[in-house]
Structure 1
Amino acid sequence: MIRVVATGTFDILHPGHLYYLEESRRLGDELSVIVARDANVKHKPRPILPEAQRLRMVQALRPVDHALLGDLHDMFRPIAEIRPDIITLGFNQHFDEERLQQKLRDRGLDADVVRIPGYPGSLASSSKIIERILNTRGPASPNGPVGEE
């Protein structure tokens, strides 16, 4: 059995997330997804949805066999428990594949690291969705704030 692990924040689910998970699942027989903890998201704005809600949404997706929250202190702990054959990265995740591969080996983990290309869609990122909402529903938009008549 080939085990695959995908990781991410998964804030405001969109087609790009689904594409990433579908492509990750195609690489093996079982897909586990590690959802970033709120406290560990430091490389971009904090998630809008709390970690428990993001986890619940990821658990409900068809390609996902297992989903869990990441470890607060050691990002490799859940990977060591799952012992995947493959770890996938999204096209915009900030990891360097070679450095990650070496860190895995240093921990006795022999998993290949595969970068999944981006989804070809205009609203395939949470930041683009947020920007569109603000431009079309925010106070300065022609439509005004949501709920305003």
Structure 2
Amino acid sequence: MTRVVAQGTFDLLHPGHVHYLEDAATYGDELHAIVARRSNVTHKPEPILCARQRRDTVAALDAVDEAHLGDPEDVFVPIERIDPDVIVLGFDQHHDEERIAEALAVREIDCRVERASGREPRYDGELLSSGDIVDRVLRRRGGSRAEVDDIER
């Protein structure tokens, strides 16, 4: 059995996330999705939804066999526990395949690293980015990201 891991923030689940997870599932027999903890999301704005809600939403997708919360301190802890054959990165995720492969080798985790295919919008107005969804909500309901960030502080 080929075990696959896909990981991400999965905040405000959208068709781009669904495509990523469905594509990742084609790399093996069993797909495990790891949902990042808020403390590990440092490359973009903090998630809007809590980690458990994001995990439960991802777990509801047919492509996902198991959804896990990431470790709050070490992103490789769930990967060590799952012991995948393949890690599939999202098409536009900021991760560097070579650096991940090196970190896996140091931890003696024997798996390959792949990159999922991208997905273009299928119709005008389809949003494939959580940031674009947030921006549209703010435009339609009034406000700005700066105002939202101020409220959350």
Give the TM-score, by structure 1 length.
Answer: 0.90
Alpha carbons of structure 1 residues 131 and 77: separation in structure 2 relative to 1, 3 Å: same
Shifted more, 15-24 versus 126-135: the winner is 126-135
- Residue 117 of structure 2 is matched in structure 1 by 117
Q: What is the CA deviation profile of residues 7-58 of structure 1, one whole-angstrom value per residue up to 9, with x for unaligned ones?
A: 0000000000000000000110000000000111111000000111101101
Structure 1: 4+ residue segments shifted above 4 A:
none
Amino acid in structure 2 at the alignment position of 1:135: R
Partner of 1:146: none
Return the index of the structure with the highest Cα Rg: 1
Please list every run of 5 or more consecutive structure 1 residues that lacks an aligned counterpart in the other structure: 141-149
SS of corresponding position for 1:72:
coil
Q: Name the aligned partner's letter for residue 128 of structure 1.
A: D
Paired amino acid for 1:136: R
Structure 1 residue corresponding to 2:137, chosen from 133, 137, 140: 133
In the alignment, what sits opposite 2:87? 87
Shift of 1:139: 4.9
Identity %: 54
SS in structure 1 opposite 2:103? helix
Normalised by the length of structure 2, the TM-score is 0.87
* Count of aligned positions: 140
Instruction: Give, in angstroms, the shift of residue 118 of structure 1.
Output: 2.2
Paired residues of 2:23 and 2:117 also in contact (CA < 8 A): no
Q: Is the 8 A contact 2:4 2:85 kept in 1?
A: yes
Return the alpha-carbon distance in structure 1 between the equivalents of residues 102 and 7 of structure 2: 18
* Alignment correspondent of 1:66: 66
- Superposition RMSD in Å: 1.3
Distance 1:138 1:78, change over 3 A: same
Distance 2:52 2:29 in 1: 26
Gaps of 5+ in 2: 145-153
